[in-house]
Amino acid sequence: MSFTKIGLVLVILMYSILLFNSLEEDKLTQANQLKTKYSTVINNTLNDTAYTMLSTIKYENEVMQLNIEECLKTFRKTLTVNLNIEHSDVYYTDFMNHVPLILFIDGDGLYSYALSSTGGTLEHVLHEKRYFTYYDDIEDLVIRFTFSDYYEIYDTTYNLAYRGSFSELKALGIANSVFSLTEDKVIELRNKIVMEHINNELLRINDHNNYAEAIGVGYKFFIPDANTTFTNTINSPGIATFIQGISLGKDNLNVADFAVATVVDSEIIEGYDNAGRLVYYEISNPNKIGTYVESFNTKKEAAQAGYYPSSY
């Protein structure tokens, strides 16, 4: 065999390997692009929902109460706008089949908007609110925690209720198993209770799994563990969304997305032009000088755009 022929055989071999590699690479690239797309969509959706959450929040006894209906409206709107399925219920339902659970964490409890079987069909249902409660079995009391400095104690034997801040309730001298601790320890206990509640709600994903198995769907939603993912992150109201099993081309299952939008008390920053000097102010500042130019979410963004703080 001449060199040319050996060369030809080698070339054909290499070419076929390259061809297969290229096909594989195409799929990977496609999967990657879809992943970018979906994570942007989910990010935008959560951002906008968090914005609605903030703008519609109400306070009852200093405890934040979310407007779930408005939040869900925004969730749907941003999601469908991004996926270009605004006017199609079918596609929306199809996407939502990949969202087994949305958790709305309120100031004193949590709502779960979960796929649940309602007599043969699987639908998203807003379940009843679960309060962050703790049962004190020594004094037979139920203690309700909130994310602010506000507690409620129910005495089930005498039908009494006590409400107030930590120091007020501590002064009363009841529920000693909780209120005799230091405030830090109580907050730790509260966070533990919140985690337990979240973990319980996550089990709703199981409902969906059972149903999906019954109708022959191969994908099984996995149940994340709130303790490992959420520790130290939840100390204010927020939203957690679980999106799983969207087809990305290469594999049939992938995105197991897990995102929290927590409310951070921050103010909008406004940039002003004061005779050529660019200054930024918090929106509530009454002594703004100059002409308004633009708004920023954070002081960092304002500084990036060339604005100085007013005290600088």
Q: Which residues form the interface with other proteins (CB under 8 A)?
A: 4, 7-8, 11, 14-15, 18, 29, 32-33, 36-37, 40, 44, 47-48, 51-52, 55, 73-74, 77-78, 81-84, 268, 292, 294-297
The Cα 253–Cα 244 span in angstroms is 7
Strands 277-282 and 308-309: parallel
- Give pairs for 291-295: CB < 8 Å, separation 24+: 294/270, 295/268, 295/269, 295/270, 295/271
Contact assessment for residue 222 and residue 167, using Cβ atoms and an 8 Å cutoff: no
Contact present, 266 and 259 (Cβ < 8 Å): no
For residue 129, the one-letter residue type is K
For other proteins, the closer CB: 32 or 156 = 32
Q: What are phi and psi of 259, to 5 degrees?
A: -135, 140
Least distance to other proteins from the beta carbon of 292, Å? Answer: 8
Is the CB of residue 257 less than 8 Å from the CB of residue 42?
yes
Q: How far is the CB of 206 from other proteins (least distance, A)?
A: 33
Looking at the Cβ atoms of 9 and 161, the one nearer to other proteins is: 9
Nearer to other proteins, 47 or 133 (CB): 47
Q: Shortest approach of other proteins to residue 114 CB, angstroms?
A: 25
First-residue to last-residue Cα distance in the chain = 82
Q: CB 81 → other proteins: shortest distance, Å? A: 4
User: In the bound complex, what is the minimum distance in angstroms from residue 2's beta carbon to other proteins?
Assistant: 9
For 86, phi then psi, to 5°, come to -60, -35
Q: Pick from 125, 92, 127: which is nearest to 110 by CA?
A: 127
CB 263 within 8 A of CB 238: yes
> In this complex, which beta carbon is closest to other proteins, that of residue 57 or of residue 187?
57
CB nearer to other proteins: pick between 68 and 153: 68
Nearer to other proteins, 81 or 142 (CB): 81
Task: Quote the least distance from Cβ 257 to other proteins, whole Å.
Answer: 17
User: Least distance from C-beta 5 to other proteins, angstroms?
Assistant: 8
Find the shortest distance in angstroms from Cβ 27 to other proteins. 13
Please report, for residues 266, 275, 289, the alpha-carbon distance to residue 305 in angstroms, rounded to integers and kept in the order given.
19, 17, 18
Tokens representing 210?
Answer: 């059972």
CB-nearer residue toward other proteins: 45 or 146: 45
Is the Cβ of residue 118 or residue 295 nearer to other proteins in the bound state?
295
